[in-house]
Amino acid sequence: MTDTGAAGRDGPVSTESAQDESLAPAAPGGSGWPQRLRGLGAGRLTALTAVVLGAAAIVILSFAGTGGPQHTADVQAKNFTLAELGNPGRQISLNSLAGRPVIVNFFASWCTPCQHETPMLAQFYLSMHRRVTVLGIDANDQRAAALRFLAKTGVRYPVGFDPYPSATTTSYGVYALPQTFFLNAQHRVVSHIVGPLTMHDLTRGVALMTKNRG
C-alpha cells in the first residue's frame, strides 16, 4: 500500500471562510471515516473535486487489507517546519530527520476517528521504544484543546501545530482527518492511509518504510 501523489502537489492552497465549521464525515460510515477539515466552503470543495478527478488518471486506488484507501505512487514528501506543541520556542521539521524513515500523522482533537486512532499510535510508539520516528501534525485546531488531547491520549512523539489555514496540511493534499504517510529514509512516500490506522497498517507501513535500510 503505497501513496497517493498528494504529497507531491505544488504549494498549499488557502482554505475559504473560517465560518464554515462543518464536521460532516467525508463519506458515510460513522467514526471510522475521516472528517473533513473545518473551513471548507463550496469553492474549496469544487477545487478539491477537480484535484481528485485530475489525480484519478495517475493514482491507483484499492481497499485491500484492513485500513482505509491505499494509494499507489512514489513521490517525495514536502519539507515542513512547524512550532512544536507543548514546547514553546521549539520547532519540528522534516528535513531535520534526513536519512531516517518517518511516520507523519495528520490529526486534530475535534476529529472523532482521531480520538480512537491517536491513543493506539501513541501506544505503538512507546511499544517500539521510540525506535520508530513519528511526527504528528495537529491541523486546524485550538492550541489549548490540542494540548489537552495530547495529554489525554499519552502522546510522547513530537507534534507540530498547523492552525487555520493549515498550510502544511493542505500542501500534502489532506482535506479530511486522520491521514498518515509512511516515509522511507529518503522521505519518499511508501504508504498513505486515509482514515484511522489499524495495527496492520502500522506494522506493514513500518516494514515498507524500513525496507532495504542498511
Q: What is the pLDDT along the chain (214 residues), one digit of tens a residue?
A: 444 433 333 333 333 333 223 333 344 445 566 888 876 444 444 444 333 333 332 222 223 333 455 554 579 999 999 999 999 999 999 999 999 999 999 999 999 999 999 999 999 999 999 889 999 999 999 999 999 999 999 999 999 999 999 999 999 999 999 999 999 999 999 999 999 999 999 999 999 999 877 5
Joined grid coordinates for residue 122: 501513541
CA distance 53 to 194: 17
pLDDT at 74: 79
Q: Facing residues of 100 across strands?
A: none
pLDDT at 167: 97
Residue 62: count of CB within 10 angstroms of its CB: 10
Q: Read out DSSP for 132-195?
A: SEEEEEEES--HHHHHHHHHHHT--S-EEEE-TT-HHHHHTT--EE-EEEEE-TT-BEEEEEES
Mean pLDDT of all residues belonging to the chain: 77
Give the containing element (helix H, strand E) for 50: helix 42-55
pLDDT at 16: 30
CATH number of 5-209: 3.40.30.10
pLDDT at 39: 61
pLDDT at 162: 98
Joined grid coordinates for residue 137: 501534525
The pTM (predicted TM-score) of the whole model is 0.73
CB-based contact 104:184 (threshold 8 Å)? no
pLDDT at 136: 98
Omega before 28 cis (within 30°)?
Answer: no
